[in-house]
Structure 1
Amino acid sequence: MLFGAGLVSATTFAQNTATIDGTTPLGSSSGYRTWSVGINAGVLNQSNILGFNREGFDKLEHNVGYSAYIKKQISPSFGLKAQYLGGKVAGKNEDNGSSFETKTPWSGALSAEWTLANTNWRFFNSIIKPYFAVGIGALNFETSYNDGTTVTNHDATTKLYVPVDAGFKFAVAKGINLDLGYQLNWANQRFDGVMGGQYKNDLFSYAHAGLEIALGSGSKPYLGNSNPVATLVQDYTSKYDELKAERDALVASNKALKDQVDALANELKDDDGDGVANKYDKCPNTPAGVKVDGSGCPLPEMKHETKVIEKIVVTEEDKKVVAEAISNLEFDLSKATIRESSHASLNRVAALLIEKNFSLKLAGHTDNTGSRELNLRLSKERAEAVKNYLVSKGANPSRIEATGYGPDQPIASNATAAGRQQNRRVEFTLY
């Protein structure tokens, strides 16, 4: 009945109760509470689970017993406890009318206790924990013996006794266990007052129920409830989940970057190979080798071509137009899309190319952030984007050269943000 009540209580209170949260595998015992106290009460009698009584005292009297102990937990499955046990034991032999009554004012025993369930890896928060204890101590008792006609009172005496305890502990809260146990006590032959009887030692039992309460800071778990193997599994699982979440986030980030690169490549795609990107090509599918204007449409054929060789002179005013375009040139972040704020100065460069028939070299550069392969591609695509814009405004594509150098030709240190900003540029060279 006691075991059933304990099981119901433990299930009720411990369903959502974490008894060892916050522990780490192979951690120091300083992270746990290692001292505890226990109090319990129960029934003392001459009966025992071994199936026999002592000296024919078959008619049992059930008397209240009480016990308290303090325990030092050495490891999750082993501890030492000092126990006090008191109460009264009595019995009667109906065959010859004899009886006895023994009072135990006090006792003290030191026992070693093993907690068995804490070695089961399946339970991180063990609710039900069988235990076994054995010890040795001193028992003070005084016996009154009635042989059927005469009552003999024996003076109080103190003798060695051996307590053997087994039972179940139920973790009902963090640091609190319900304790249900059964204790057998081997005592001196004088315990029941019968001297020179059949048995060398007397035996009495103590069925009990009580509480074990851990001492110390409530922020620490109780070592007696800890399960090192289950804690190790819990720690491994937690770290695996964290690493998996980081990996999933990295995969998602890489996919987003790939989508940006694909979108940029699609913007600069030139299916007919005429030097004008599809985005600006007003005459798609131009045959190979046909000369086109800035909008991608074929130029009218000239029956007579006269080559005029003239000296190209680049004035300071021309250089100023180009310098202004360089300083105003801006792209979307990590893209080759020219921002609208740059269009006005680029329009003046296009007009200058058309008016004076200049040639122009565009050199794209980046800082060293990211991979070299990506930076080479981005610098080339940005130089091509400038060329395509100028061609869309009427500039001759055959007189514009676009090249990407990536991070290979820095003009400032990449160790600072200001230096990296200077290195991200497109250089214009008129000739």
Structure 2
Amino acid sequence: MKTILKQGIMLLGAVAMTTYASAQDNTATPEPFAKGAYRTWSFGVIGGVMTPSVFIGGKNDFSNSELGAGYGGYLKKQLTHNFGIQGDFFRGTLKADNSTGTAPVGSPYKSFETEIKWGGTLSAVYNIANFNILSRQSYVTPYISAGAGLMGYRPTTTDLANAESTLNGGENIHELVVPVGVGLKFMVARGVNIDLGYKMNFVDTDNLDGYRRGESADKFSYGYAGLEFALGNKAKPQLAFANPAAILEKNYIAKYDALKAELDANKNDPAMADKVNKLSSDADGDGVSDFYDKCPNTPAGVAVDGAGCPLPVSKTIVQKPVTYIISEEDKKVVADAIKNLEFDLAKATIRSTSFATLDKVADLISSKNLSLKLAGHTDSQGSDAYNMKLSKERAESVKAYLVSKGVNASRIEATGYGESQPIDTNATAKGRQNNRRVEFTLFN
């Protein structure tokens, strides 16, 4: 089996190399995003080998994995230059035994063979080469794929006494399968590709090999080679092999060559020569050729539009800032707020009796765009650190209340001075009460 597989891969590689040159197509290509300009449907037939082990996750419940045959086909819809949806169908055989290596401890089986009666999956396929849109390569495309599906299979085990048995009474077992694959496609002719790939298939159960040994799920791999055929109009290229950047470049070069050829053919025509001279000359040096310049002889240094005409000069209007003069009535609003401001004992919590006059201060600041400085003070009772902290918290509490009423926070400065700036003696109760205060200072 291994020899046949190697010979098949070598044959496909030789076909790819010898037909590469015949796949070159120098004819004009459609625009890269033109609707209906490409062939987007294709189907493929593949065949290869299956084995109950994968590169990621190792073997199942037998020590020696063997090669079994696998075959199938697929139908693919290419949605963009590098992304497509593919439906796969496959069948095959999985085999393994415990003749070499270290068999699982306590295994009651000598070998197994599982017939995959049918399998169907739906996968997303990404063409890796087209992720780099500047690549000029359009005839070899690596890809990755991942998807999910369902398969039906029948495992047969042989125990240590050479007795065979089947799970599920010989009926097919149906389980979820998740395929993850990589591959490489070669365009060998217009609409014909060689498809080489490898898939790791993860089954949502532990009975694929007929031996339920633990909770770990079984898996198998499928290495394949095949041919893909594009469906549709043979004159259209395949979207999967189209390179947007290379197509744009090719089409623009073709248009440039056609225009150059037309100019060369008419270079002796006086009318054409006059147009060429106007296109290449700029007498007033404004950056617009004389052929398109609707305002010739523009003075040097003047900014112009696409037609060569001077751009209008905008006038900058400077608005003088308006300064609001704080009135006596405004000062009275602030004085009332100071007079009525009360806090809970030894706390920064404002009492509800203060809200009405504070609301008027908030409205004044917002309506007349004023700023406010809040300075918190305490008496001398308590430590310096405690008094400094309490005075700062009370000033911040007033600021937070005004901000909650719609005042811009950047318009209010809150500072605490503790007991450092008394306005009365701290020797009497009335003096200490006067010293416990939050001062309001309005300014523009």
Correspondence for 1:77: 82
Report if aligned partners of 1:132, 1:167 keep a CA contact under 8 Å in 2.
Answer: yes
* Cα deviation, residue 125, structure 1: 6.2
What do the CA deviations read for 1:251-274 (whole angstroms, capped 9, x no partner)? 34459999xxxxxxxxxxxxxxxx
Q: Which moved more, 1:69-78 or 1:240-249?
A: 240-249
Question: What's the C-alpha RMSD, in Å, of the aligned pairs?
Answer: 2.6
Q: Using a 3 Å threshold, how does the CA distance of structure 1 residues 181 and 19 change in structure 2: closer, same or farther?
A: farther
**Unpaired runs of at least 5, structure 2:** 1-5, 275-444
Mapped to 1, the partners of 2:94 and 2:180 lie a distance apart of 17
* Cα deviation, residue 219, structure 1: 1.6
What secondary structure is seen at the aligned counterpart in 2 of 1:230? Answer: helix
The reply to whether residue 16 of structure 1 matches residue 22 of structure 2 is yes
Equivalent of residue 48 in structure 1, options 51, 54, 57: 54
Correspondence for 1:151: 164
Report if aligned partners of 1:119, 1:227 keep a CA contact under 8 Å in 2.
Answer: no
The reply to whether residue 139 of structure 1 matches residue 144 of structure 2 is no
**1:90 counterpart letter in structure 2:** K
* Cα deviation, residue 227, structure 1: 1.3
Alignment of 1:226-305 (within 5 A): 226-254=242-270
Q: Using a 3 Å threshold, how does the CA distance of structure 1 residues 179 and 256 change in structure 2: closer, same or farther?
A: closer
What secondary structure is seen at the aligned counterpart in 2 of 1:166? Answer: strand
Q: Using a 3 Å threshold, how does the CA distance of structure 1 residues 226 and 217 change in structure 2: closer, same or farther?
A: same
Mapped to 1, the partners of 2:236 and 2:273 lie a distance apart of 46
Correspondence for 2:117: 105
Equivalent of residue 199 in structure 2, options 177, 180, 183: 183
Report if aligned partners of 1:129, 1:169 keep a CA contact under 8 Å in 2.
Answer: yes
What secondary structure is seen at the aligned counterpart in 2 of 1:75? Answer: coil
TM-score w.r.t. the length of structure 2 is 0.53
Q: Using a 3 Å threshold, how does the CA distance of structure 1 residues 115 and 256 change in structure 2: closer, same or farther?
A: closer
Mapped to 2, the partners of 1:13 and 1:254 lie a distance apart of 50
Equivalent of residue 28 in structure 1, options 7, 24, 34: 34
What do the CA deviations read for 1:387-412 (whole angstroms, capped 9, x no partner)? xxxxxxxxxxxxxxxxxxxxxxxxxx
What secondary structure is seen at the aligned counterpart in 2 of 1:102? Answer: strand
Mapped to 2, the partners of 1:37 and 1:214 lie a distance apart of 7
What do the CA deviations read for 1:63-90 (whole angstroms, capped 9, x no partner)? 1100111111101211111110101101
Correspondence for 2:92: 87
Correspondence for 2:189: 173
Q: Using a 3 Å threshold, how does the CA distance of structure 1 residues 174 and 234 change in structure 2: closer, same or farther?
A: same
Q: Using a 3 Å threshold, how does the CA distance of structure 1 residues 252 and 76 change in structure 2: closer, same or farther?
A: same
What secondary structure is seen at the aligned counterpart in 1 of 2:53? Answer: coil
| Count of matched residue positions in the alignment of Structure 1 and Structure 2 | 256
Mapped to 2, the partners of 1:137 and 1:211 lie a distance apart of 22
What do the CA deviations read for 1:219-276 (whole angstroms, capped 9, x no partner)? 2222112111111111111112122222333434459999xxxxxxxxxxxxxxxxxx
What secondary structure is seen at the aligned counterpart in 1 of 2:177? Answer: strand
What secondary structure is seen at the aligned counterpart in 1 of 2:59? Answer: coil
Q: Using a 3 Å threshold, how does the CA distance of structure 1 residues 30 and 256 change in structure 2: closer, same or farther?
A: closer
Q: Using a 3 Å threshold, how does the CA distance of structure 1 residues 248 and 21 change in structure 2: closer, same or farther?
A: closer
Q: Which moved more, 1:74-83 or 1:217-226?
A: 217-226
Report if aligned partners of 1:24, 1:232 keep a CA contact under 8 Å in 2.
Answer: no
Mapped to 1, the partners of 2:132 and 2:27 lie a distance apart of 17
Report if aligned partners of 1:18, 1:125 keep a CA contact under 8 Å in 2.
Answer: no
Correspondence for 1:59: 64
TM-score w.r.t. the length of structure 1 is 0.55
Q: Using a 3 Å threshold, how does the CA distance of structure 1 residues 54 and 245 change in structure 2: closer, same or farther?
A: same
Mapped to 2, the partners of 1:222 and 1:19 lie a distance apart of 12
Mapped to 2, the partners of 1:250 and 1:237 lie a distance apart of 20
Q: Using a 3 Å threshold, how does the CA distance of structure 1 residues 238 and 121 change in structure 2: closer, same or farther?
A: farther
Q: Which moved more, 1:176-185 or 1:21-30?
A: 21-30
What do the CA deviations read for 1:310-353 (whole angstroms, capped 9, x no partner)? xxxxxxxxxxxxxxxxxxxxxxxxxxxxxxxxxxxxxxxxxxxx
**2:113 counterpart letter in structure 1:** E
* Cα deviation, residue 11, structure 1: 2.3
* Cα deviation, residue 20, structure 1: 8.8
Q: Using a 3 Å threshold, how does the CA distance of structure 1 residues 13 and 108 change in structure 2: closer, same or farther?
A: same
Report if aligned partners of 2:52, 2:221 keep a CA contact under 8 Å in 1.
Answer: yes
Q: Using a 3 Å threshold, how does the CA distance of structure 1 residues 25 and 3 change in structure 2: closer, same or farther?
A: farther
